[in-house]
Amino acid sequence: GDVYKRQYQRRVHGDQILKMESLPQYDINQFLQEENEFLSKKQPTIFIFCGSTNPETGKSWCPDCVEAEKPISDVVIPIAQEKGIPIIYCKVGERDYWKDQNHPLRKHETFNLKGVPTIFFWHPEGEHKVLVEEQCFKTAVLETLFEV
């Protein structure tokens, strides 16, 4: 966890816009260990959940996640950076692990994921905004996350 945090801070401080693949990534176990810390900060936070990378192809096993990478990099990351909203990028696991209905994030009290990719804009007061699957492909739809 700490290694990733330092990398992230260095990059943001360097005033560069991060592409999605260079965001610090939490695998499912790291995420579950640290989630209480994220949520206890009482700060609006964007969680991005995608399928893990297939080492053979270098891309996620989830084709929708691959398709969402560019729109998310173009819209969600720059706007979130501009507004100072932290982004936590979690790889939910291998395909078979994700497809199991007992996956911890599927039954999770807060996240309750139905599919990947999911962009979960978490608010401390509970007014979360969630976009799922093909909703993550369109830049116009992604922009609605930040509308007041």
Partner 1 sequence: ASDVYKRQVVSTQSTWEFNFQFMEEEFDYDYFVIGGGSGGLASAKEAAKFGARVAVADFVTPSPQGSKWGLGGTCVNVGCIPKKLMHFAAGAGELKHDQKECGWDIDVKSQHNWEKMVKNVQKHIKKLNWGYKVELVEKNVKYYNKLASVVDKHTIELNDFKKPAEKVRAKYILIAVGGRPTYPDDVEGAAKYGISSDDLFSLQKEPGKTLFVGASYIGLECAGFLTGLGRESVVMVRSILLRGFDQDVANQIGDYMEKHGTRFIRKSTPTKVEKTEEGRLRVSYLNHETNETLQEEFDTVLFAIGRTAETKKMGLENIGVKLAKQGKVITDDDDRSSVDNIFAIGDCAEGRPELTPSAISAGRYLARRLFNGETSLMDYSYVPTTVFTPLEYGSCGFSEEAAFEKFGQDNVEVYHIKFKPLEWNFLPARGDDGYIKVITNKQDEERVIGFHYLGPNAGEVTQGYSIAIKMGVTKKQWDSTIRIHPTTAEEAIGISSKKSENSEAKAGGC
Please list the active-site residues: 62, 65
Nearer Cβ to partner 1, position 27 or 143? Answer: 143
Report the site for partner 1 in 79-138 (rule: CB under 8 A).
125-129, 131, 135, 138
DSSP secondary structure letter of residue 62: -
71 forms part of the interface with partner 1 (CB under 8 A): no
147 forms part of the interface with partner 1 (CB under 8 A): yes
Nearer Cβ to partner 1, position 8 or 121? Answer: 121
Nearer Cβ to partner 1, position 10 or 123? Answer: 123
Backbone angles phi, psi at 72, to 5 degrees: -65, -40
- Least Cα distance to 142 among 87, 93, 90, 104 occurs for 87
Rounded to an integer, what distance in angstroms lies between the CA atom of residue 7 and that of residue 128? 27
Cα angle 75, 62, 54 (rounded to 5 degrees) comes to 110
- Least Cα distance to 61 among 116, 137, 118, 132 occurs for 116
141 forms part of the interface with partner 1 (CB under 8 A): yes
- How many residues touch partner 1 under the rule CB under 8 A: the total is 13
CA gyration radius, the chain: 14
140 forms part of the interface with partner 1 (CB under 8 A): yes
Closest contact distance (angstroms) between CB of 102 and partner 1 is: 26
Binding site for partner 1 (CB under 8 A): 125-129, 131, 135, 138, 140-141, 143-144, 147
